[in-house]
Structure 1
Amino acid sequence: MTRRGPRRALARAAALVAVVVALVGVGTGTGWALWTASADAPSQTTFAKVDLGLESSSPRAVDFTAPGQSVTTAITVFNGSTVPVDYELSARVGTTGAVSADLATRIDVRVWPASTASCTSAVPDDARSGTWAAATVAAGSAPASTRVTWCWRATTTASAPDAATVNPRFEVVGGSHGWTDGWFIEDFYQNTRYASPAPAARALGCRTVDTGDGTSYATVSWDAPLDSAQWGLFVGGRRVGNTVSGQAPTKQHDVTRDMVPASLVPDGRVTVDVRSVAGAEPGPVAWTGPVVVGPNAQGQRQVSCP
């Protein structure tokens, strides 16, 4: 009889533990584990909360405006657990919105752990490599109540298509003592929005005008059908002359010697550019052509057409 008492107590304790384990194992999000201390120590029950999350202050939407550009996304694993947790952080192509599977294969991805959450350092030589279509897995161990940041550097290749979008989805899974938890972020978008190349500059017309005193100047002309447009002449990157507008369909401007002094350009062939000056900044070169600057027979500076 003296042996049956302890056995019944142990049986009741085992049943109680089984019930508690069954209770704590039910639910979503956070996992809970419990175990008892060793037989050599005073008997007590210990709970371990497994709680993982992801954080990021990086921009959720970015545009690549040219091949070869890079953007770095900082993803922080937050271990809110009461115990250390082994985790795996992965990225894959999301399915939110109009996602381009082709673009996902043409963005190179480098992954490395960071000492801060800013990811401002250069990519280390041992950074892991992949693409958004087959991204590498970042794995590690996070102590209880700590944050670990990983940097994901995405670079568009030369063959990356324009006007496309990829939606990387980051997911972390980890656990301790057989209990797991996970989290994901899927609201990141990377777009290719390449700027349209400026149209090729067209050739200026040129006519030499004799002043009658042994010197000359050049009149350059161009066809611009928009009467409301405003155009300016540039020599050596500096604007010269007046604003031209309202001369449809052909616009013209004289290039005189005072517009091309020796302090601006030397004698010889000089390029004259016509650019839009309607905005705050001059537009691209729309028309271009040469004039010739040099002395006449009397040594006076003059301008003529080639």
Structure 2
Amino acid sequence: MNRRLRVLLAVVLTVAFVAGGSSAAWALWSATGTTASSVTIGKTGAALSGTSDMTTTFSSTVTSMTKPVTLTNAGSLAGTSTTTVSVVSGSSAALARAVSVVAWPVASAAACTTTAAVGTGSISGTWESLPSMTSKLAAGASAVWCTRSTPTSSAPASSTANITIGLTVATGSWTSGAVQGGFYLNTPAASPALTCTDHSGTYVELAWPTSSRPKDTWYGAFVGPGATTMVGQKEQDYYGRFTLAPDQVPASVATSGPVTVTVKILDSAGNPTTTVVGTGTVTLFTQNDGKAIRCGA
């Protein structure tokens, strides 16, 4: 059979199958067409806000920082947010390590205040190493975490830590690109040390470094959180020193153990300014005749 006869026979058979409703004919006929379909799968995404407001310089009057961070699922699929923290190279990892952090989820940024109690689901660590602030988020939803940062006694003076928070949102095996936000933690220069002289446990004498300030400048000695509780009598530079007895330290501050004393300049109304002229440590203890105080820790 030549080629022309084979082609003619194929055409005749096809027409016959179609006319007879044959499934084979339908298969042959439909194989010559095309089909197309599409499925919208969705996307992952992440957004982070609030970190720029976390830049803080700690001092004797700024002893902690409480700020909210908002984590957002910017994708079209529900997912789980996870965070990481890191210290930017060249800044102080020692300071980041010396700032303790506690973070917990809150209903809104307005609920993250300096007086807010730490809530359920909290995490804790330092700004060098902090567990993830993990939240399950619907598409487009956000979670607010309240962070509270407090420098410890080992925080180095005159230091800056540049902290970066990273955020990703994962859905199954898909993970969004990482977004980042950063802030700075700072500590001031170390205050000059007060000169302390013991007097047999009955009192100590604390002298501040001399300066070029007018001799009639007033000074006060302060203890307690934030160095806000004044102890002893205010003095001028003419005298240049304070005396402090054990019963002059309020029991609400300490009844025993080391106490940090901070000397500040007072304004014309007798209120403390932010200018610190010296700090030192005294220790409250008990001896045979009752409460006592000595220099040092």
TM-score w.r.t. length of structure 2: 0.53
Amino acid at match of 2:163: P
2:119 counterpart of 1:124: yes
- The 8 Å contact of residues 86 and 141 in structure 1, kept in 2 or not, is answered as yes
- Counting only pairs closer than 5 Å after superposition, residues 99-178 of structure 1 correspond to structure 2 as 99-118=91-110, 119-120=112-113, 121-124=116-119, 126-176=121-171, 178=173
Q: What corresponds to 1:50 in structure 2? A: 44
What amino acid does structure 1 have at the position aligned with 2:87? V
Question: 1:78 aligns to what?
Answer: 72
Q: Secondary structure at the match of 1:49?
A: coil
Which stretch of the first structure deviates more once superposed, 178-187 or 138-147?
Answer: 178-187
Could you say if the C-alpha distance between residues 155 and 229 of structure 1 is closer, same or farther in structure 2, counting changes exceeding 3 Å? Answer: closer
Distance of 1:89 and 1:167 partners within structure 2: 17
For these two proteins, the number of residue pairs brought into alignment is 199
CA contact (8 A) 1:84 1:144 kept: yes
Range that drifts further, 117-126 or 64-73: 64-73
User: One-letter code of the match for 2:95?
Assistant: L
> 1:69 aligned to 58, 63, 70, which one?
63
1:231 aligns with 2:216: yes
Q: 1:67 to 1:128 in 2, by over 3 A?
A: farther
Quick one: structure 1 residues 115 and 161, their matched pair in 2 at CA, closer, same or farther if it must change by over 3 Å?
A: same
Secondary structure of the corresponding residue to residue 145 of structure 2:
strand
Aligned counterpart in structure 1 of residue 176 of structure 2, from 177, 181, 190: 181
Cα RMSD over matched residues? 4.1
- Who is 1:93 aligned against? 87
Contact 1:169/1:184 (8 A) holds in 2: no
* Contact 2:73–2:169 (CA under 8 A) maintained in structure 1: no
Residues 139 and 187 (structure 1 numbering): CA distance in 2 closer, same or farther, change over 3 Å?
A: closer
Task: Call closer, same or farther: CA 1:9–1:152 in 2, change over 3 Å.
Answer: farther
Instruction: Letter of the 2:91 partner, please give it.
Output: V
Structure 1 residues not aligned, in runs of 5+? 18-44, 203-223, 245-250, 253-274, 287-306
Distance 1:9 1:75, change over 3 A: farther
Partner SS, residue 102 of structure 1? helix
SS in 2 for 1:3: helix
Deviations 1:59-78 (A, max 9, x none): 24201114992212321112
* 8 Å CA contact 1:68, 1:156 repeated in 2: no
Higher helix share: 2
Distance 1:280 1:112, change over 3 A: same
User: How far is the alpha carbon of 1:281 from its aligned partner?
Assistant: 5.6
Letter in 1 for 2:147: W
Using the aligned pairs only, state the percent identity: 26
Over 3 Å counting, the alpha-carbon distance change for 1:80 and 1:66 in structure 2 is same
Aligned-residue offset at 1:232: 6.7
Residues in 2 aligned to 1:159 and 1:128: alpha-carbon distance in whole angstroms: 22
Gaps of 5+ in 2: 1-24, 198-209, 220-231, 240-263, 279-297
The ranges of structure 1 where at least 4 consecutive aligned residues each deviate by more than 6 angstroms after the TM superposition are 7-10, 283-286
SS at match of 2:176: strand
Q: Taking structure 1 as reference, are residues 9 and 132 closer, same or farther at Cα in structure 2, changes over 3 Å only?
A: farther
Q: Does structure 2 conserve the Cα–Cα contact (< 8 Å) formed by 1:104 and 1:166?
A: yes
Q: Deviations over 1:263-306 (max 9, x none)?
A: xxxxxxxxxxxx988x64668999xxxxxxxxxxxxxxxxxxxx
